[in-house]
Structure 1
């Protein structure tokens, strides 16, 4: 179905050198460090292609160079864990997307080899079934006996195979998917509609989405039948009836089902599925609200509508964060509504970047916002939580959200340094987004050559005396020949004044609207070398906690701040005037500014604030209460 915005072909958008790309590369390095044998071991076991001899070798001639158990994958990938096998799907999905952006032959060769080995396992299993666990798991759940999420695990495998086909051009992976679909078509054919509803009430994962993906490529009636069978009718109908069917339910059960409904609408055009998606967003986000990071979940459960003060526990789950970002991206494509881009941005800085250790690249399953929160980091091979898998995917796929295309032009939806290379109207078009080094967001602050030049040369533009109150981006247009089109710029929710937009240094653009959470349109006959300079004003702000207006979090532009304290603290001043509560701290470090660095005012035992994404092992809090200056105890 037609959407307002369209994703550009994979590989057209490249991240520019800098801190965000460094995160991408950190994730890529970790991805490549996981060995083929370890990723495939449980599939080999199930297919009868490998057995361990007990002396560090193998008794099967079909595999080689297997390390002993001390080097294996454990945690949720252990041979004794019912969820085993999920990580390979995440791995393939991430590898496919990284290859699409980088054309790195090493990652393509590794991923293609793994797909080929999975095909060998499928053949050994009889040509259809493929999983790291036996078919009996499916028969057990059909009998109402508990198994830990077999649909979830197979969905991850199918998702990875689909991405290998769609993003990396591996035709074999689509053939494997079709074989698995044949098995599920026969298996589900024995159940009535009522029996399928009972089965899906137990657990469904994201199966609806992968069947829709497959049907979109094959138009096979069997795959359409699987879409019908995996329609989550009871849940979808409750949403359409306006019920709150989320509170206290497992959050990452429902989100993949809704992503499935979204994909079904796109491949079938049936309006009911779009209505389901929009009803879910109202229930999960609009009516529920969210904490400053964007999360409406805590401890894997949806929190009550606009009543979250009693739920500041272990915090948001990374899987929920990533999947809600995916859903926001879908809705942005469908509608062109900038508020969905705002939501994605909020969860990017305060979710994806905040859940990942900036030095090791490892994942924190949960991210708390209450007093005395602390991130708990997973390891490279000993945990493999579900969030470990979505970490791989989230940090492999920043780029589709940056630029998107619409009928009359290009939209910049995220302010991430990058380049678009695209052919439009018979002309080669390049659009480059650069972040001004003296007026920018620098997660993972690193050495800045441009900043170094600014502090050594006397003929450079003057450096601001104090930390700037705006972010500056330069957009450079390169064209073979002049071309007229719209350049649509998202103005974020956090701007604190009127943005300034200049083309080639001329007077500020006089355009309407120039409101937060909107797109401003710049239409002109563009020529090679045109530069658009965008200044986005920002300030320190507070956001109240849904359900308790006396508790609040601090934000510096899109960045949630974390107070480095291990206990609940009361600040002195009025939240409506955050400069009464905090003052700038360590605002500059050599050649760059430190956005989000503050310290408390007027209290004993003061403490510092830093961006939530920079917290590693420190204890911290995001929400605080206050007393007025007149009530301050001496």
Structure 2
């Protein structure tokens, strides 16, 4: 049992539960309580709902439309296929999406169900953002199906009737883990025998048993649709696989088509028939069913070898006879059902699968040997359980000491995606069925995890991959604020990974070697636990953790991780590869940054938000429509010449799931409000209109940012008093300007801050103009200053070049007095934000192209060139790599040419004095500076 929760925690839980209204659930749609997550009192600023902010035309809307079209057109029954199959329900012929969302993908589909949760969240956000009914209809279909699935998992399996060879037949849906259990006396000790059955296999996996009668993997007889060679095989043995006496077919059985199989044994002769024709005969058989004795495992569809797949397909007319039928009798089955054939029904057993609503299959032989439909994992599932695979992964995790994703692949991570999708569905559509499903999942998790010792929980959550649980804590706390169930808050705390929390709370960096996306979303959950419990260590740990990643392990685009893992603090150039910046990491860092900003309005959080959203997140979505795939990257390689892969791992990965979500909530952090409504934060410059219903006004931005260097904000509706806080990006220069109705607002905006337009009564038609001039600048890799990435304002510019070596770039040649490096580049006509340098085109990272790109370049300034004039002097460098030109331009911006010349003179003098530059060469540099012409 888990150790008792502290009295303090229980009191907190009780107080919070008392403050939250209880929830009752109805069987159908309809609101149980207000479909919102109550805003925590700990948030000093608060977001608006997606429905309150409308995207206007522009970069974000264009990207979003591609995903909206994908969500509108995709058949959600394909996503539901794995859930319905697991519950033994009809899949309606739907084909699972593939990749990680099916049985044939990586690790045999051990993550299936996760993508369905992402898709539900995407649809929910799409509906909240657009109000288009098509998304609500798809949500309702999915929630209804999942409700049916949970109910089916709570019962014993039932016959799934399909059209058979002769009327009805039973189907074993692939992924249902179902089989037919026959009584022990079915073979009756017969020495001579005939086994006859119609099969329609739906999958081509080898070693699927049509039947297997045995005790274990030593003593048995079986018939498979495909052996290792892909053809039917019958075998009988009393000494394991090495002692098998067998009969092999000559051709593969067709899929999704009825075939008749029969085996006869009489004396020493065994014969295998396929569709009435003898295809194999063995006249030297010494084994027959009588030597096997009474067997315990008499199965249709299941093997006595645990690693063999369960039969996928349909059965019709299984008959067992205590004699070897003649060839003519077996051939007669081709044109007659058994009861009308020359052979008649089997005298040992006869199942012709007449339709039933139960799991009991009647025996028509007269012996009363009714069979029972069962699941290999037993059942029914426990109350509240909902997944696309059995509870077995959750159970196995509890005894694991190291990760093995081929056995257990992050079941609580998958549970999180489903839980989050259901909660989002409820919040978007008020369908209480979704809330009931989500609440039930948490009830089930609590009933399981609360019984485990704390040491077991700590071990589980520390296991790479298998123990990954994603952002489940955040979602459970959000659900708790709606349900008010104390068990739900207690459940959230059961995911505490104390070694991680304690280290980060102490600001001890232990991230080297950890799996990045396993840990980032954990902290968003811990921030919510702080909100719910007041325990400061959660928030402190999250803040410190953020600082260990940004900028210490951050690439210029805002991404992090190499091949999903973190390396040592401060190592950037040493980790550049084809597997950088897993897209999920950016998604979750955005969520964490946003969450931390609610508690502390440090502009660094929203600076990062803009960086990652505008560059990595937008750039991870291909600028192309596709009905089948969302076209989102998994990794974004930063190695020279990397080409982005928008269909990774056959689709349906974690990153494609978060990519779908990102693309339908671009507006979620454009505006925040002070908790008391006294101020409006404008965090992102984006064409987006806020309907601030509490104030009775609208606030609309008109901008083509980042193609436009600023934004126009117009107030509409009525009148309201509030201050306006405008984010001044950390990269912004001294020319950041704000006017209200054409009049400049006094004050000096500071880069990396919020500039406040003091509170006033705003009226319809008031216009605020924000001007944010861009400069071209570089950011240097922390561990190699010569490796740099280019930014024009917020936009990361990448070279499009097929070379697989770093491009060598010089940028000071025509630098302006402001320090702007842009004059060294040449604009491309008709292509905003596109430039050429050294014969290579540089374009915004956010463009989702398939061009080979260079995110980082090798900075090379071999000669001292000022204002386009070459001094003829080599550019010297200090031992740390800093060059003379670096030191000169570090003084920018310069008020005028004189200030620049003065900087050159003082820098040259210092370098000559240090013996780093000769006197004569120093004079050449100064003279060049004096004679050159500079751009502003």
d(CA) in 1 for partners of 2:820 and 2:472?
49
Q: 1:9 to 1:607 in 2, by over 3 A?
A: closer
Paired residue secondary structure (2:709)? strand
Secondary structure in structure 2 of the residue aligned to 1:302: coil
Asked if structure 1 preserves the Cα contact closer than 8 Å seen for 2:553 and 2:570, the reply is yes
Q: Give the Å deviation of 1:472.
A: 2.6
Q: CA offset at residue 170 of structure 1?
A: 2.1
Shift of 1:181: 1.7
Report the Cα distance in structure 1 between the residues aligned to 2:395 and 2:698, rounded to whole angstroms. Answer: 54
Do the aligned partners of 1:582 and 1:600 also contact (CA within 8 Å) in 2? no
- Cα deviation for residue 582 of structure 1 reads 6.9
538-547 or 182-191: which moved more?
182-191
Kept after mapping to 2: 8 A contact 1:500/1:534 = yes
The 3-state SS of whatever aligns with 2:554 is coil
- Tell me the CA shift for residue 222 of structure 1: 1.4
Residue equivalent to 1:104: 132
Determine if contact 1:315/1:368 at 8 Å carries over to the other structure: yes
Distance in 2 of aligned mates of 1:190 and 1:82 = 25
Residue 307 of structure 1 is matched in structure 2 by: 571
Q: Kindly report which structure 2 residues correspond to 1:248-267, keeping only aligned pairs within 5 A, or say none.
A: 248-267=513-532
For 1:533-555, what per-residue CA distance to the aligned partner results, in whole angstroms no more than 9, with x for missing partners? 11101111011011111111110
- Partner residue, 1:527: 763
- Within 5 A, what are the aligned runs for 1:128-527? 128-144=384-400, 146=404, 147-202=408-463, 203-205=467-469, 206-285=471-550, 288-313=552-577, 314-360=579-625, 362-378=631-647, 382-406=650-674, 407=676, 408-425=678-695, 428-435=696-703, 440-442=705-707, 471-480=709-718, 482-506=719-743, 508-527=744-763
Q: Which residue number corresponds to residue 121 of structure 2? A: 93
Task: Compute the displacement of 1:228 (Å).
Answer: 2.4
Give the distance between the partners of 1:92 and 1:499, measured in 2 at CA: 41
Looking at structure 1, the residues matched to 548 and 618 of structure 2 have their Cα atoms a distance apart, in angstroms, of 26
Partners in 2 of 1:256 and 1:519 — Cα distance? 31
* Structure with the higher helix share, 1 or 2: 1
Q: Residues 33 and 359 from structure 1, CA distance in 2 versus in 1: closer, same or farther, beyond 3 angstroms?
A: same
Change over 3 Å in CA distance of 1:417–1:580 after alignment to 2: closer
Counterpart-to-counterpart distance in 1, 2:51 and 2:774: 32
Q: Which has the larger Rg?
A: 2
Give the alignment of 1:55-66 within 5 angstroms: 64=92, 66=93
Name the Cα RMSD after superposition: 2.3
List gaps (5 residues or longer) in structure 2. 1-40, 155-382, 865-869, 875-936
TM value normalised by structure 1:
0.86
- Cα 1:615–1:29 shift into 2, 3 Å: closer
d(CA) in 1 for partners of 2:785, 2:778: 11
Flag the structure with more relative contact order, 1 or 2, with Cα contacts below 8 A and sequence separation at least 6: 1
CA contact under 8 A between 1:563 and 1:621: conserved in structure 2? yes
Which of 583, 605, 608 is the equivalent residue of 2:841? 608
Secondary structure at 1:430's aligned position in 2? strand
Classify the secondary structure of the residue corresponding to 2:538.
Answer: helix
For residues 585 and 169 of structure 1, what CA distance do their matches in structure 2 show? 54
More displaced 10-residue stretch of structure 1: 292-301 or 194-203:
292-301
Q: CA deviation at 1:477?
A: 0.6
Aligned to 1:445: none
Structure 1 runs of 4+ aligned residues shifted over 6 Å read 578-582, 631-634
Name the count of aligned residue pairs.
Answer: 574
Please name the residue that 1:27 is paired with: 67
Please list the CA deviations of residues 387-438 of structure 1 after superposition, one character each: whole Å capped at 9, or x if unmatched: 010011000111120111113121111111011112235xx20111001x5x
Offset of residue 5 of structure 1: 1.1
Alpha-carbon distance between aligned partners in 1 of 2:822 and 2:769, rounded to the nearest angstrom: 33
TM-superposed deviation, 1:473: 1.1
CA offsets per residue over residues 344-372 of structure 1, 9 Å max, x none? 00001111111010123511111122312
Q: 8 Å contact 1:582–1:599 — kept in the other structure?
A: no
Residue in structure 2 matching 1:44, options 60, 84, 90: 84
